[in-house]
Amino acid sequence: MDRRAKLFLLLIVFTLIFSGCKKEEVVASDTLIHKDLNGIEMELLNQYDIEVELDYENKTYTGKQWVTYVNNTDKTLGEIFFHIYPNAFKTLDTLPILFKDNIEDPLSYDNGYIQLNIISRDNKELEYKIIGEDSTTLSIKLDQPLIQGQKAKIYMEYDVKLPSPMDRFGYGKKTINLGNWYPIACVYDEDGWNLDPYYSIGDPFYSDLANYNVSIKTEKDVVIASSGNIISEVIEDDEKVYEIEGLLIRDFALVASKEFKVAEESVEGTTIKLYYLDEKSNMVKKSLEYSKQSLEVFNRLYGKYPYGVYSVVMTEFPSGMEYPGIVFISEEYFRYQVVDLLERVIVHETAHQWWYGLVGNNQIDEPWLDEALATYSETIYYKEIYGEEMGKEYFDYNVKLGYEYGVQYLLGKNMIYQSLSDFYGWDDYGILVYTKGALFIDEIKEMYGTEVLYKILNTYFNEYKFYNATTKDFIDICERVTKSNFSPLVDKWLY
């Protein structure tokens, strides 16, 4: 047997082995492209291993989830808490969606929920309770106390039904949005456990950085867009299994559709994946351009986006929404008539990768912190991409004028620093947290200059990348960089 024949035989064997299932290695790039962990110790992060079977037709899924929970608190824990957000969709009363009034016929509302089947630790079933006004908090009693620094591997099995509104969590005619769809550990901070419900305004989420391995089994023609990096797609008969890795992210979201097409663009080591619906293919070029420009500007000014993939997803959704490594953008914005809005929303949600994703914050108690920075990042983007004049024009029209107009209609207190439960409603929240918040950031620029503001944002990013930061942390950095006392500014703007 000569070498060529041997090679030929090897080739046949190889073909036989792999003809049963089709494996596509789809690694576009590394999951992390910048290895600077900013002091984070990987083994001290919670680890989520989730196996999902998504029934695309019936709008349901089952989950098997292993959470290696690390007790990073300062005390021994007898119980640990998780958010189980799908339960907020059980009734119209607690439905946490943006445009509730748009549900034409409340009677036709198809609800959603999570049903927990098993919760165990080392094959021993654990006692648990579902608590909270909207049944979105899960309290798990540990069989043995978990002392500081130790890990507990909790296993859960659940069945979930998706609701009909096309919001962060729900299904439409063409897409299924899975935001806040699995049990995620509540944050324990200096105030103890954060057990807030799924408020119906803002982005009422607060979570710790974690690592994820998620596998999704579904019909073979379903395309998945997700947080993290799709490592492989294996098709076997009529099914497809996605293996996805997410490192150093604080949540994991995905969108599924049989109609998705994907366009890609590379920027500074990151692959931008634009998932689009075919009838909007004429907007692909523009969308990729806005995504690319946003990443370039924020990479340069704030610090490097550390992930290998960034997914921008056109979906059935009323607006824009950020999750780590992925943003949901309403398909309604992908039209030439509203191309300015499309650009603005892509820029805003991309800025959230820095403010919320990489530098986290308590979005319930201090929602202004990430929203004001994401909103002001729009002005920074317009100035950096289109020049000083355009930046000023954008700010004057969208922020200054927007505030002057909106402030007349405030129903509650004219105060930026409020927690979600204190805002009067979406309108007050929007005008204060986004618009007035951005005015505050602009005043810092007016007083100290553009370069100093950039230095503040860059320092804030580099110090708090991969951590949760507070308003105090941000103000401390402002004071340190400007070498001045910020109390008068804080009193004027935040309170």
Q: Binding string, 249-278, against Zn ion, x = CB under 5 A?
A: ------------------------------
CB of 240 to Zn ion, least distance (A): 33
**Minimum CB distance to Zn ion, residue 320 (Å):** 7
Residue whose C-alpha is closest to residue 259's, from 318, 219, 311 = 219
Q: Which of the stretches 2-10, 184-192, 374-382, 414-422 binds Zn ion when contact is defined by CB under 5 A?
A: 374-382
Between the CA of residue 163 and those of 82, 92, 170, 331, what are the distances in Å?
21, 11, 5, 19
Nearer to Zn ion, 222 or 433 (CB): 433
Closest approach, Cβ 364 to Zn ion, in A, equals 14
User: Edge-to-edge strands of the sheet including 326-330?
Assistant: 260-267, 270-277, 309-315, 326-330, 320-323
Question: Residue 48 CB, nearest distance to Zn ion (Å)?
Answer: 24
Residues near Zn ion (CB under 5 A), total: 2
Nearer to Zn ion, 211 or 311 (CB): 311
Asked if 176 contacts 255 with a C-beta cutoff of 8 angstroms, the reply is yes
Of residues 222 and 351, the one with the C-beta less far from Zn ion? 351
Draw the binding track, 333-372, toward Zn ion (x: CB under 5 A; -: no contact). --------------------------------------x-
The CB-of-203 to Zn ion minimum distance in angstroms stands at: 7
By beta-carbon proximity to Zn ion, the closer residue of 46 and 353 is 353
Q: Which residues are CB-contacts of 309 (< 8 A; sequence separation ≥ 6)?
A: 28, 29, 31, 228, 229, 230, 270, 271, 273, 325
Instruction: Pick between residue 269 and residue 318 the one whose CB is nearest to Zn ion.
Output: 318
User: Measured from the CB of residue 352, what is the shortest distance to Zn ion in angstroms?
Assistant: 6
- Contact window for Zn ion (CB under 5 A) among 119-127, 215-223, 290-298, 373-381: 373-381
Classify 188 in phi/psi space as left (phi over 0), alpha (psi -120 to 50) or beta.
beta
Which letter does DSSP use for residue 407 in this model? G
Minimum CB separation of residue 433 from Zn ion in Å reads 9
Smallest distance, Zn ion to C-beta of residue 161, A: 28
Structural tokens at position 29? 């790039």
Q: Which residues touch 178 (CB under 8 Å, ≥6 apart)?
A: 169, 253, 254, 255, 256
Q: Tell which one of 374, 416, 441, 469 touches Zn ion (CB under 5 A).
A: 374
Residues in 292-331 that interact with Zn ion by CB under 5 A: none
Please identify, using beta-carbon distances, which residue of 275 and 376 lies nearer to Zn ion: 376
- Min CB(313)–Zn ion separation in Å: 16
314 or 351: CB nearest Zn ion: 351
- CA distance linking residue 139 with residue 44, whole number of Å: 22
Please state, in angstroms and rounded to a whole number, the distance separating the CA atoms of residues 462 and 105. Answer: 48
Q: How far is the CB of 474 from Zn ion (least distance, A)?
A: 16
- For Zn ion, which is the closer residue by CB, 366 or 371? 371
Q: What is the DSSP string of 179-195?
A: SS-S-EEPPEETTEE--
What's the closest the beta carbon of residue 436 comes to Zn ion, in angstroms? 14
Write down the least CB distance from residue 256 to Zn ion, Å: 24
CB distance 321 to 263 below 8 Å: no
Q: Which residues, in sequence order, are CB contacts of 116 under 8 Å at separation 6+?
A: 84, 128, 130, 138, 156, 157, 158
Q: Give the integer Cα–Cα distance in Å for 369 and 437.
A: 8
In the bound complex, which residue of the shown chain has the CB atom lying closest to Zn ion? Answer: 374
Residue that has been written with the tokens 């445009």 in this structure: 99
User: Residue 354, CB half-sphere, CA atoms under 13 Å: how many?
Assistant: 30
- Comparing CB distances to Zn ion, the nearer of 182 and 368 is 368
Given the complex with Zn ion, which of 169 and 368 has the nearer CB atom?
Answer: 368
Please, which residue, 233 or 428, has the CB nearer to Zn ion? Answer: 428
Residue 301 DSSP SS3: helix
Tokens of 3: 């070498």
Q: Dihedral of the CA atoms 190, 195, 197, 199 (nearest 10)?
A: 10
Cα–Cα distance for residue pair 124/119, rounded to 1 Å: 8
Residue closer to Zn ion (CB basis): 365 or 371:
371
116 makes contact with Zn ion (CB under 5 A): no
Q: Which residues bind Zn ion (CB under 5 A)?
A: 371, 374
